[in-house]
DNA sequence: ACGTTTGTGGTACGTTCGTATCATAAAGAC
DNA sequence: GTCTTTATGATACGAACGTACCACAAACGT
């Protein structure tokens, strides 16, 4: 057989090609041939490593989620050396904002998948529920930690606050994505709201 | 010629069919034949009233925006008789949440259009920027009004607060749409945040 | 009344899509 | 040294897409 190939690696390369092509054409418009061309392989190879387009799309979503998780973790770790949890929280919330090309791509495709999941039950079963839930738990924990340290305003419901902040971050991200607002002002809005939560 | 037809009315009927079909199949998957079948007319008729699919999609977006505007206006008017601006603000923010089938459809398709506009410049030129901007101005005005009446906490930046609340409402709407959260809890989050802004 | 315009049915064309099929070369297994 | 397995090239197929074209019947203008 021709030089044995690492399937996992190959699949990842193709998934990266899918993500790039989808960023350029839109996830709805990308076909197997586009992915093949973007990856520099033949259509047959894409078919070989993913039996169907649906399998490819599902793997693409997993790949995307993994990459995004890494990005958030990096951001949080970079801010982790700072004195308080405020910096960590800010890093967590701004990680989802489309500030550079990579995060723009994340937001664009993640939203695309979310829209598709409304009418595609195979996608609806994917980690759209789980992943945001862990973000919610993490942020709630950070806020609770800040609250226990007496850093927050009195009467703060950390759970509700976390849900609201994450939704706000997602909403701001979308408005940045469609060009209604620039990334700078979106971050300013988030910082303002954190200022209202944290004790002055 | 066969019984003269009101073009505007006909186009609206077809746009309604587009919206229904898109709600069922997803905007990306709906074709001219689906729209024709949903409207109970032949493919030729859809072609006749909209020369191309792109024109149909653009008109569908306009139709959707118009309908949504009416809905918000109705909600706000219904709450307008109440004593304070708090009720009006709450009505404005919850109007976008997918609480019933109609608003679910709104949110689903509006988000679909937003995603498409990232890679489709014809859609990018549409009122994605203008419409949210007017909502922002309206909400800022309402908050300012409340602030002038001494109803808000001290040091509130009404503009930034409005932007944040609208983004939060949109983000919550999406999470409801994908089934991560139910409409009731989303409204509770919004109310909590309004409680934090309004003086107790 | 006649000619022109308007609305609509039917259908065909060229593309593109996802998928399936056939062939074949290279590298293991024994 | 066979013989099987693996990876990939090339291509073909049926379906569905948006669009274009042709025909025709019904009502208006004059």
Instruction: Give me the CATH number covering residue B36.
Output: 1.10.10
Average pLDDT over residues A61-76: 94
pLDDT number for residue B3: 75
3-state secondary structure B33-49: HHHHHHHCCCHHHHHHH
Q: Is residue A86 part of a domain?
A: yes
> Is A86 found in the same domain as A44?
no
> Is B166 found in the same domain as B144?
yes
> Is A36 found in the same domain as A83?
no
Q: Is residue B56 part of a domain?
A: no
A31 to chain B: which residues are within 8 Å by CB? none
Average pLDDT over residues A67-96: 89
> Is A79 found in the same domain as A41?
no
> Is A77 found in the same domain as A44?
no
Q: Is the shortest CB-to-strand distance from A51 to strand C under 7 Å? A: yes
Q: Do A26 and B119 touch (CB under 8 A)?
A: yes
Q: Is residue B60 part of a domain?
A: no
Low-confidence stretches of chain B (pLDDT beneath 50): none
Range of the domain at B192: 65-197
Which nucleotides on chain D have any atom < 7 A from a protein Cβ? 4-11, 16-21, 25-28
> Is A182 found in the same domain as A96?
yes
C-alpha neighbours within 13 Å on the C-beta side of residue A91: 20
Q: Is residue B151 part of a domain?
A: yes
Compare all CA atoms of chain A with the CA of B163 and give the residue at the minimum distance: A189
Cα A64 from chain centre: 7
- Is residue A1 pLDDT above 70, yes or no? no
pLDDT digits (tens, 9 = 90+) for A121-132: 999 998 776 788
> Is A113 found in the same domain as A41?
no
Q: Under a CB-based contact definition with an 8 Å cutoff, are residues B181 and B172 in contact? A: yes
How many structural domains comprise chain B?
A: 2
Q: What end-to-end distance do the CA atoms of chain B give, in Å?
A: 68
Q: Is residue A60 part of a domain?
A: no
Q: How far is CA B78 from CA A124, A142, B64, B181, B187, in A?
A: 35, 40, 21, 26, 18
Q: Is residue B119 part of a domain?
A: yes
A114 to chain B: which residues are within 8 Å by CB? 111, 174, 177-178
Three-state SS at A115: helix
Q: How far is the CA of B99 from the C1' of C2 (A)?
A: 60
pLDDT number for residue B197: 97
> Is B112 found in the same domain as B74?
yes
pLDDT number for residue A80: 73
- Answer whether B19 touches A (CB < 8 Å): no
Q: How far is CA B96 from CA A83, A131, B69, B134, in A?
A: 39, 24, 10, 14
The token pair at B14 is 């077809």
Q: What angle do CA B42, B43, B45 make, to 5 degrees?
A: 70
pLDDT number for residue B144: 97
Average pLDDT over residues A179-193: 97
Q: Is residue B69 part of a domain?
A: yes
Q: Is the shortest CB-to-strand distance from A40 to strand C under 7 Å? A: no
> Is B70 found in the same domain as B45?
no
The token pair at A4 is 């044995």
> Is B152 found in the same domain as B106?
yes
Q: Is residue B109 part of a domain?
A: yes
> Is A158 found in the same domain as A81?
yes
Instruction: Give me the CATH number covering residue B187.
Output: 1.10.357.10
pLDDT number for residue B126: 87
- Is residue A149 pLDDT above 80, yes or no? yes
> Is A45 found in the same domain as A78?
no
pLDDT number for residue B84: 84
């Amino acid at each position: 057989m021709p030089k044995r190939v690492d399937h996992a690696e190959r699949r990842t390369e193709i998934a990266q090609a899918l993500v790039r092509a989808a960023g350029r054409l839109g996830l709805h418009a990308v076909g197997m041939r586009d992915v093949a061309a973007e990856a520099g392989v033949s259509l047959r190879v894409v078919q070989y490593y993913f039996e169907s387009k649906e399998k490819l799309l599902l793997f693409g979503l997993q790949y995307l989620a993994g990459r995004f998780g890494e990005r958030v973790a990096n951001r949080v770790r970079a801010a982790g050396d700072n004195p308080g949890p405020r910096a960590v929280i800010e890093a967590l919330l701004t990680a989802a904002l489309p500030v550079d090309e990579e995060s723009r791509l994340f937001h664009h495709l993640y939203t695309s998948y979310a829209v598709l999941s409304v009418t595609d039950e195979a996608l609806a079963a994917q980690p759209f529920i789980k992943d945001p839930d862990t973000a919610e738990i993490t942020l709630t924990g950070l806020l609770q930690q800040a609250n226990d340290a007496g850093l927050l305003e009195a009467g703060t419901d950390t759970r509700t606050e976390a849900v609201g902040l994450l939704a706000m971050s997602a909403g701001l991200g979308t408005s940045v994505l469609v060009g209604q607002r620039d990334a700078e002002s979106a971050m300013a809005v988030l910082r303002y709201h954190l200022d209202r939560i944290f004790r002055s």
